[in-house]
Structure 1
Amino acid sequence: MTAHATSPTLIRHAAVFDGSRLLPAQDVLIDGSVIVAVGTHLEAPGGATVLDGAGRTLLPGLIDAHTHTTDTAQLRQALLFGITTELDMGGSAETARRMRAAADERDDLADVRVATTGATAPGGHPCQLVELGMIEPFPTVGGPDGADAFVAARVAEGADHLKIFIEDGTAIGKPLPLMSPLTVTALIRAAHERGLRTVAHTLTRDAACQAVACGIDGLAHAPADGPSDQDLIEAAAASGVFVVPTLTALTGMTPTPIEYELADDPRLRAYADPQWLADLEATRPLEPGQRVGPVGVDPRYAADAAVRMFRLGVPLLAGTDGTGGHGHPTTHGISYHGELALLVAAGLTPAQALTAATAAPAEAFGLTDRGRIAPGLRADLLLVEGDPTRDITALRDITGLWRRGIPADRTVPLVAQTRE
């Protein structure tokens, strides 16, 4: 289903957020799958499609730095909301390979990079989901001597990065076995020897401390079980780690949830997953003070830790933990706009949140061909009405969208489509 652009496209007079800064009144020329020029007063090649970008902002395609992707409908859904790349954080190896193959072939889907099977102790998280019949059995790591073989098997599965679980059960109210620090260190070493970046599932302060001390590249969640002390914040900054706060997943459902605000926004609602909308509507109205979300964690602690780390130089990456089940309130596409709003509410400027959505995840995961707007990079682009560096919700008003230079068709809302 991959289409091929038949002529260049010139976008004139758009403000350009290039991944780190806003440039006023630029022209951007797309030819084939790449950006070929950025500047002022560019000449339109013969046969080019010329679009007026006045009053609009052109940005790199968005990158969701934490998802769990199980079918192509989710990748299609993500793309409709401006996400051109998803970074999957673990699941079935067979599913991961299928999703990557589909994204490689089709430009009507978001691209995806995959972790395949995450590393955990025997009986450790998420083995409890196997017991519930929610996922298939998977290999685990019994100790440091098994680390090299485990990582080699993930590379053979096609993993782009390695997910490591450091979860003692605090978040689900059930004690769970943990891998030793020696095992975690051995996994990270084995991954790095094979060119893989490593990301740790860490919801608690102790887990984050362990991951940082072991040399992890990134935290898949910000610590949320209490106020993080300054030693942890400084250790994260000194280590060079990046953090994906996943505030939407940690927030769960509250009396004034971000999910309701997203569902009620007419710029978003028509493209939302209909099952997600139905599940959300079934929870209205909530009783005052009711909160359904992870046990033992609070998103306010995660937001505070993430912003304090950011102020000491830790890159923040926007990610939702969007999934296809397991009781999560987050989903592909629409929840990402909630994540950006929560990052701004936590203390980031809209421009900083946009960097967390574009250049920062591309750099953190070595995706050198995307995440910024510059000649020679992929034409994964998003054109929106207004200025999202002043109002992050302007990102919801999409007027143009390209993946590898192919315009995305947003004329048919997701609710009219069937799952694949």
Structure 2
Amino acid sequence: MVLFTDVRVFDGVEVLQGVDAVLVADGVIRALGPRQAFRDSTEEGAEEVVRGRGGTLMPGLVDAHAHVFPGDLEQAALFGVTTVLDMMADPVQASGLRETANVTPAMADLRTAGTAATVPGGYGWYLVEMGLLPPFPTITDPGQADAFVADRLAEGSDYLKVLIDDGSTVGVPAPAISAHTLRALVAAAHDRGKLVVAHALTAASARLAVAAGADVLGHLFVDRPDPEFAEELAERGTAVIPTLAVLGELFGRAGGRRVAADPRVAPYLGEGARRMLGMGPFPLGEGARHDYEVAIRTLGELRRSGVTVLAGSDASNPGTAHGATLHEEMARLVGAGLTPSEALTAATAAPAGRFGLTDRGRIAPGLRADLVLVDGDPTADIGHTLDILGVWRGGVPCRHTAMPGRPQTERPAPGEAS
């Protein structure tokens, strides 16, 4: 057993009043409440007591949009990201990473879209041309949708990703998937009980996705929608992953170099991550159409309409790093009008709930002990999410030693009350 004491507990939605202790056993949260309620548990042999010294214990973070390669899940865990939702990857490589993560607490857990749906030469094919992914199947006709989805699930995909992009936002024209094929793909995925995540960077393509029944928009569109669209998203229950950090890198509001220079970040970055964070603005083609400030204003409208917002870093893109950029994303969500608690929910309970991960995302009895302990109160100042004192995945520490300001961790003396 591990007993966390002297902590403020953010349960994924709110700070729990009158709760300053959490008991973990066999990788699961067993109980929480006032410290005095755990005297007997401590005396009966808690293997470890973690004294939080007034810090905040919160659920392990869930990155709702990333692209994973070897080494990324280890770095994500160092920054408190205990679950990564991959949104396009080589399915063979993703399967291997997931199997390894299942038995390696120092790696974030993984769910994956595997091969995304696009047309020949369409958005996403550039990853093959760059050598980042092997050639993958594409789709050209609605009649192929059922077999396409079945093949993805056979490869191990947990949900379907559909790429709806004509390249206009970045000035690189590309063929785009048709509305008929999109609807057929969504229907085939839903028939199998799977969510559909749509890549859509314009309001028009987002509308196509929503009309087809997509469950999640993988980005915030960067042109102006009509005023009713936010209400429509809320009524349909469509969630949005804004990915403001990567949109900032694309469209002139870069923050990667600032993230890399943060002393709370730099010691935990691999060399590749440092290079990625320092790459600077993404090169765009002539005629690129976008407006980052429109995206910021739109996010405020989505919040006011009650749209579910999920936090995603879109790492491994230029200007991002696994783990670290999710903290930048939460800060940008707050800058766009979310409260710090709402931004934390967007990175914990909300993505877990939307993607059916019912065993995590909250601090509650019976759930996985995926936990992050930070110094200070991130519900008052979101910047405190990077003041990490410890990370536990399934109750096992994966960042817990040789850290400045680490919590006091000790084995209790026989009969000691905590």
Structure 1 length normalisation: TM-score?
0.89
Query: How many matched pairs?
Result: 394
1:167-210 Cα deviation digits (max 9, x unpaired): 01113312211222111111111111112111000111111010
Aligned to 2:388: 398
AA matched with 1:373: I
Return the alpha-carbon distance in structure 1 between the equivalents of residues 106 and 67 of structure 2: 19
Structure 2 CA distance for partners of 1:320 and 1:36, relative to 1, 3 Å: same
Aligned to 1:11: 4
* Structure 2 residues without counterparts, runs of 5 or longer: 404-418
Return the alpha-carbon distance in structure 1 between the equivalents of residues 207 and 198 of structure 2: 11
Structure 2 CA distance for partners of 1:181 and 1:23, relative to 1, 3 Å: same
Residue 27 (structure 2) pairs with residue 33 (structure 1): yes
Aligned to 2:68: 69
AA matched with 1:34: V
Structure 2 CA distance for partners of 1:211 and 1:84, relative to 1, 3 Å: same
Aligned to 2:104: 106
Counterpart among 180, 183, 187 of residue 182 in structure 1: 180
Residue 299 (structure 2) pairs with residue 306 (structure 1): yes
Which structure 2 residues correspond to residues 19-418 of structure 1 after superposition, within 5 A?
19-24=12-17, 25-40=19-34, 41-43=36-38, 44-45=41-42, 46-48=44-46, 49-71=48-70, 73-224=71-222, 226-252=223-249, 257-278=254-275, 280-281=277-278, 291-292=281-282, 295-323=288-316, 328-411=318-401
Stretch of structure 1 that moved more, 147-156 or 228-237: 228-237
Return the alpha-carbon distance in structure 2 between the equivalents of residues 282 and 363 of structure 1: 34
CA contact (8 A) 1:251 1:293 kept: no
AA matched with 1:57: T
CA contact (8 A) 2:25 2:395 kept: yes
Aligned-pair CA distance for 1:411: 4.0
AA matched with 2:8: A
Stretch of structure 1 that moved more, 294-303 or 94-103: 294-303
Return the alpha-carbon distance in structure 2 between the equivalents of residues 282 and 191 of structure 1: 37
CA contact (8 A) 1:228 1:301 kept: no
Aligned to 1:288: none
Aligned-pair CA distance for 1:161: 0.6
Return the alpha-carbon distance in structure 1 between the equivalents of residues 276 and 118 of structure 2: 31
Aligned-pair CA distance for 1:249: 0.7
CA contact (8 A) 1:80 1:410 kept: no
AA matched with 2:263: P
CA contact (8 A) 2:75 2:323 kept: yes
1:263-301 Cα deviation digits (max 9, x unpaired): 222122111232332455576xxxxxxx54664323322
Aligned-pair identity in percent equals 46
Structure 2 CA distance for partners of 1:199 and 1:278, relative to 1, 3 Å: closer
Structure 2 CA distance for partners of 1:262 and 1:192, relative to 1, 3 Å: same
Return the alpha-carbon distance in structure 1 between the equivalents of residues 134 and 144 of structure 2: 21
CA contact (8 A) 1:250 1:293 kept: no
CA contact (8 A) 2:164 2:199 kept: yes
Structure 2 CA distance for partners of 1:409 and 1:53, relative to 1, 3 Å: closer
Structure 2 CA distance for partners of 1:280 and 1:166, relative to 1, 3 Å: closer
Following superposition, which runs of at least 4 residues in structure 1 exceed 3 angstroms of deviation? 131-134, 253-257, 278-283, 291-295, 409-413
Aligned-pair CA distance for 1:361: 0.3
* Structure 1 residues without counterparts, runs of 5 or longer: 1-7, 284-290, 414-420
What secondary structure is seen at the aligned counterpart in 2 of 1:126?
Answer: coil
Return the alpha-carbon distance in structure 2 between the equivalents of residues 99 and 279 of structure 1: 21
1:48-106 Cα deviation digits (max 9, x unpaired): 111222311000000000000011x1100000000000000012111111111111121
What secondary structure is seen at the aligned counterpart in 2 of 1:22?
Answer: coil
AA matched with 1:310: R
Structure 2 length normalisation: TM-score?
0.90
Aligned-pair CA distance for 1:367: 0.5
AA matched with 1:171: T
AA matched with 2:37: L
